[in-house]
Amino acid sequence: MNRSPATKDRIKVHRPSQHSAVSTAPVHPRLSRPGRRPKKPIIPTLLRFIDGFLPLPSYGTFDAEMHRRGRLLVASCFGFFVIALFFGIQMSQVDQYPLTSVLIMFSGCGLSIANLILFRWTGSTTAPGALLCIEALAIQSFQAFHDMGLNDPVLLWMLVIPWLAAFLVSPFSGFIFGGLVALIAGAFFALDLSGYVFPNFTEQAYSLFYFLELSTLGLFLGFLGWLYEGQTLKNLREAHHKLAIAHTDLQKSNRRTEQILESITDGFFSLDHDGCFTDLNPQAEFFLEEPRSALLGRDAREYFSGDVGQEIRGRLRSAAKERIPVDFETFYEPLNRWFKVHVYPFAEGLSVYFNDITERKNYERGLIEAKEEAEQLAQLKSTLLANMSHEIRTPLTSIIGFAGILAQEATGNHQEFASLIGQNGQRLMDTLNSVLDLAQLERGALQYNPIYVDVADETAQIVQLLKPLADDRSLYLRTECVTEDVMAAVDKSLLNRVLNNLIGNAIKFTNEGGIVVTVSGCETRVSVAVSDTGIGISKEFMPHLFDEFRQESTGLARAYEGSGLGLAISRRLVQTMGGHIEVESEKNVGATFTVHFPRTVAAQPSEDD
């Protein structure tokens, strides 16, 4: 039998290793001894010959089990062919056999070949196996009918049929063919009993024995085949079942991973060690503007090519080379968007997560622009204030001065008008000074020169200056010093402005009674408390007391002059000196503002207040 090279390859694929080891081991010409031919083992050679008739591996699941059965089928077909040929020749030489018997035997040969062809065509042993069993059964039955040949040795073939069927067709078909053998034997026995004369009958009286022998042996062999093949198939089914479960678990796990990747809002893609896309989620498809199918297997360096992808390429390369996670923000020109990218190396390459941060970037840019604008405005404000200081204060000083001279020289109504001009001019000057002070504080341009002073003396001097104001409103104003040592490190000018403001407010907001200014000291600080019997401060207004431009009475109900800046400035000045202000007040009873100064020079402004 000639075998093509293709057939050789096929055998290598399916043959168990022990055979291939024997058959394919090369013998080096120089190593082989002259005159000694390499030994050719018979069984492997025979198996190679049989394998030449097996179907191609491309036929479905042609596994090791199928291979075993395939060999059995091929061997059976050949066995059947040889027996049919042998008996066909023998019958043709004996006169007592009619031509039909001879022809049937020869057609058995043809059918064996047909089975082999069918096997190669279908790639399964089921159909050719069933046909082979039927053919064998039919031919042997015909033979038996001719000579009531239950004693003919060839009929032993019949016993092989159930066993063959169990292997080649299905485990249970062994029983069916075993039953058929029993049926045929039973039919002959019945014919024999009924007195039927078989054409070439030789011996009588043994028909019962042959019937029993054939039928029980046939069923027994069918049973053996079922037992063996049934168990093999059961094992196979169990293995298949386990495999199916593992496959389902794997599919579920894959699906879960896919769902996780789909559910995250970040874009995700992974690259293998060659830099080709191995996976990506829908968000990545959306941002990369290419379908998954077009990206998978494609080289990422080619996708992020040119100058626009230079940064991304570089980052991916360094993450892959150094095997460390890389985070970066990049502007991707083709999409006109900013992305935050995280690159993580893993065993099979790189995983890359990225999200669109264009809005955040725009917001940040807006903030920077706003900051720059605010800085420009602040610069403008400083210029304006500097100009205000010069352009308003200078003429205002002249107005106040000349109004004073006029008030002294004029008489009657004119004197009153001149003093009103002077008063309002002064009021305007106070407001201007407050605004300029605040601007100076905000710029941080305030000069602070602390020296040790006796706070009681300083307070007494200020009170002395403000006394006429209190007298005008028929209020008492006095100073009390309850501690001997009230020395503290303060800036005299700042202390002056703070106490002026607090005592001025006390005079302004008190209609009856008066004001007591108490100076006291403890180990670490010196305190000045300004208590009045005035209108007091409501609980609601208390939190806003030190806010800029805030006054308790506003709008038309406003009964007191002022800009609402005095306390805001005073607090900042006190903080500059390292102290703080406390307030206690009851509406319509009075208010007490207490300022605490540290005895030593303050290192930095206190934020206690």
Residues within the interface to ligand ADP (CB under 6 A): 501, 505-506, 509, 532, 534-537, 545, 551-552, 562-568, 591
Minimum distance, C-beta of residue 548 to ligand ADP, in the bound complex (Å)? 8
Nearer to ligand ADP, 66 or 506 (CB): 506
Q: How far is the CB of 588 from ligand ADP (least distance, A)?
A: 10
Shortest-Cβ-distance residue relative to ligand ADP: 562
Q: What is the closest distance, in whole angstroms, from the C-beta atom of residue 446 to ligand ADP in the complex?
A: 18
Q: What's the one-letter identity of residue 358?
A: T
DSSP string, 252-308: HHHHHHHHHHHHSSSEEEEE-TTSBEEEE-HHHHHHHTS-HHHHTT-BHHHHT-TTT
Minimum CB–partner distance for residue 513 and ligand ADP (Å): 12
The separation between the first and the last C-alpha atoms of the chain, rounded to the nearest angstrom, is 110
Q: CA 166, CA 172: separation in Å to the nearest integer?
A: 6
Cβ nearer to ligand ADP, comparing 479 with 551: 551
Alpha carbon distance 526, 459 (integer Å): 12
Shortest Å distance, C-beta 342 to ligand ADP: 54
User: Please, are residues 212 and 182 in contact by the beta-carbon 8 Å criterion?
Assistant: no
Torsion of CA 439, 441, 443, 448, to 10 degrees: 140
CB nearer ligand ADP, residue 219 or residue 573:
573
CA 72/CA 75 separation, integer angstroms: 5
Give the shortest CB-492-to-ligand ADP separation in angstroms.
21
- Output the six-digit token pair for 349: 């390459």
Closer to ligand ADP by CB, 181 or 568: give it. 568
For 140, the token pair is 């042997």
Name which of 101 and 551 has its Cβ closer to ligand ADP. Answer: 551
Give every CB contact of residue 147 below 8 A, 6+ residues apart in sequence. Answer: 198, 199, 200, 201, 202
- Of residues 57 and 504, the one with the C-beta less far from ligand ADP: 504
Q: Assess contact for 225 and 162: CB atoms under 8 A.
A: yes
Is the Cβ of residue 230 or residue 564 nearer to ligand ADP in the bound state? 564
Q: CA dihedral in degrees (315, 317, 321, 327; nearest 10)? A: 20
Alpha-carbon distance values, 129 to 135, 395, 531, 599 (Å) = 10, 126, 120, 115
Six token digits for residue 571: 């607090």
Dist CA 87 CA 136 (whole Å)? 13
Amino acid at 543: P
State the nearest-atom distance from the C-beta of 549 to ligand ADP, in Å.
8
Question: Which of 461, 469, 378, 365 lies closest to 426 in space, CA to CA?
Answer: 469
Per this entry, what is the length of the chain?
609
The nearer residue to ligand ADP, 76 or 551, going by C-beta atoms, is 551
Cβ at position 559, least distance to ligand ADP in Å? 10
Quote the least distance from Cβ 589 to ligand ADP, whole Å.
Answer: 10
- For the chain, what is the largest distance between any 2 Cα atoms, rounded to a whole number of angstroms? 178
Q: Which is nearer to ligand ADP, 272 or 442 (CB)?
A: 442
Q: How far is the CB of 370 from ligand ADP (least distance, A)?
A: 30
Q: Supply the DSSP symbol for 309.
A: T
d(CA 589, CA 605): 33
Q: Which is nearer to ligand ADP, 173 or 501 (CB)?
A: 501
